[in-house]
């Protein structure tokens, strides 16, 4: 069976949850979980508590990890691991109880500094310790922080309050110090890939009778307060360093290091896993000399590599000149101001993938077959990709009761929308909501309505 057919089976899986081989396969879902017990890893997505519970039931005994991306509010989390050999070398000696007490005290002090009204009774403690390692996850269901970066700042505040011997990066793992991370879920074991065994099940210590949602980082229906504008959690601006890259020896050394790391990785991970990690980190553009682009999130003016089209070193004028001419002279009737606006509107879809345009672009002509779809097909299918573009002349599919084609789109095109005045009156307010609001209700026949985030632009 090919990977494509296997993926199709995943994507066609019935609700209440979705499946895929990459996080991007379930990118439209509010809650993401990956299964570390299977190779290649499976990513599972849900939009509500029922979906999460269905995943836990179907994958009972598997090593399941809550996957966190996107800058939505989330609970602070401390990931603490102290191997036995490190513990035995600590001077002065600490008992296991003293280690845990110091960790809890540091967490409590930090929470109260940030949020004086925080209730210490909302602290959660989970353990997967054994004879070889002391392992704890400390969190709280009594407050949330605005984004991943501030959770990373919170972790550093806790670290500084611990005894010096417990402050090491290998002991306090700042898992939030990146754009996405994952944490093993309550009741899940750790999967040892070398022995292919499941070990060290994560168990609740406090509260002992807590639910799986008490121990999640971003659970459904979390109403706890989001702590905005704490001066203790201000994320420092990154320092920009300009490096002289004229020294070719440095570049060659870097390439040699990359090649060495890839070879070593190939001994431990499958080719598919290595390739997926490379794709998530860097992009390679083939020219006379290798050209590498580091992928990074830039909320101000960045490129989004989830689209079908990829950056190139040089624009192919044979492709672009006819398109530019068509837009300027046919679509915009040689109006320079209109031409600039329409290209800025399309550019916004790519440059700001995490935002909605909150306006609709309307192309109207008195003549049929004048080429309006030439440009929408180009932008939708060639730049964004068919997975992010949906075009229809049947408004009932979008504006009617069952509207699943809305889910996960970046551009929605309504073609030849000839309707009676009664129909327009019926759909008018619904269309306005879709254009301007950041969340939409998606309903499939016979299934529960989902409330999802939405970043689509409309034409």
pLDDT tens, position by position, 269-286: 665 565 556 555 555 544
- Given pLDDT bands bounded at 50, 70 and 90, which one contains residue 247? very low
Query: Which of 75-84, 137-146, 216-225, 238-247 is predicted with the least confidence, judged by mean pLDDT?
Result: 238-247
Q: Which of 87-96, 191-200, 241-250 has the highest mean pLDDT?
A: 87-96
> What's the chain's average pLDDT?
80
What pLDDT, on a 0 to 100 scale, did the predictor assign at position 253? 52
Q: Which residue has the higher pLDDT, 157 or 20?
A: 157
- Given pLDDT bands bounded at 50, 70 and 90, which one contains residue 251? very low
What pLDDT, on a 0 to 100 scale, did the predictor assign at position 17? 86
Report whether 457 contacts 412 (CB < 8 A): yes
Q: Which residue has the higher pLDDT, 275 or 152?
A: 152
What pTM was computed for the model? 0.54
CATH architecture of 317-458: 3-Layer(aba) Sandwich (3.40)
Q: What are the structure tokens assigned to 241, written together?
A: 């360093």
- Given pLDDT bands bounded at 50, 70 and 90, which one contains residue 138? very high
Q: Which residue has the higher pLDDT, 110 or 397?
A: 110
pLDDT > 80? residue 299: no
Q: If you average pLDDT over residues 353-377, what whole number do you get?
A: 79
- Given pLDDT bands bounded at 50, 70 and 90, which one contains residue 381? confident
């Amino acid at each position: 069976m090919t990977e494509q057919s296997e993926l199709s089976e995943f994507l066609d899986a019935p609700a209440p949850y979705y499946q895929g081989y990459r996080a991007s396969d379930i990118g439209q879902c509010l809650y993401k979980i990956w299964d570390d017990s299977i190779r290649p890893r499976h990513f599972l997505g849900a939009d509500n508590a029922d979906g999460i519970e269905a995943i836990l039931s179907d994958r009972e005994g598997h090593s399941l990890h809550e996957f966190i991306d996107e800058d939505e509010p989330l609970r602070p989390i401390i990931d603490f691991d102290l191997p036995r050999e490190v513990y035995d070398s600590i001077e002065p000696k600490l008992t296991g109880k003293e280690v845990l007490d110091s960790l809890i005290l540091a967490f409590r002090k930090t929470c109260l500094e940030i949020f004086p009204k925080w209730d210490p009774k909302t602290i959660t403690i989970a353990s997967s310790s054994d004879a070889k390692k002391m392992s704890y996850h400390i969190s709280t269901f009594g407050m949330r922080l605005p984004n991943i970066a501030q959770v990373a700042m919170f972790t550093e505040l806790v670290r500084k309050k611990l005894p010096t011997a417990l402050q090491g990066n290998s002991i306090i793992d700042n898992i939030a110090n990146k754009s996405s991370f994952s944490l093993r879920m309550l009741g899940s074991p750790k999967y040892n890939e070398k022995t292919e065994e499941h070990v060290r099940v994560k168990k609740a210590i406090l509260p002992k009778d807590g639910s799986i949602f008490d121990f999640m980082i971003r659970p459904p229906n979390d109403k706890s307060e989001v702590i905005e504008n704490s001066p203790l959690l201000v994320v420092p601006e990154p320092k920009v360093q300009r490096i002289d890259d004229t020294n070719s020896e440095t570049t060659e050394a870097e390439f040699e290091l990359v090649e060495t790391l890839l070879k070593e990785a190939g001994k431990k991970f499958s080719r598919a896993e290595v390739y997926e990690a490379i794709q998530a980190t860097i992009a390679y553009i083939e020219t006379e000399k290798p050209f590498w682009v580091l992928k990074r999130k830039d909320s101000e003016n960045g490129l989004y590599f989830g689209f079908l089209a990829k950056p190139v070193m040089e624009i192919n004028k044979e492709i672009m000149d006819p398109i530019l001419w068509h837009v300027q002279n046919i679509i915009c009737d040689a109006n320079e101001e209109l031409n600039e606006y329409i290209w800025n509107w399309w550019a916004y879809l790519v440059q700001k993938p995490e935002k909605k345009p909150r306006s609709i672009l309307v192309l109207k002509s008195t003549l049929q077959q004048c080429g309006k779809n030439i440009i929408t097909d180009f932008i939708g299918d060639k730049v964004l990709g068919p997975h992010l573009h949906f075009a229809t002349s049947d408004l009932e599919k979008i504006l009617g009761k069952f509207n699943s084609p809305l889910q996960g789109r970046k551009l929605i095109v309504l073609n030849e929308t000839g309707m009676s005045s009664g129909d327009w009156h019926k759909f008018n307010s619904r269309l306005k909501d879709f254009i301007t609001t950041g969340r939409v209700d998606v309903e499939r026949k016979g299934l529960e309505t989902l409330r999802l985030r939405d970043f689509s632009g409309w034409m």
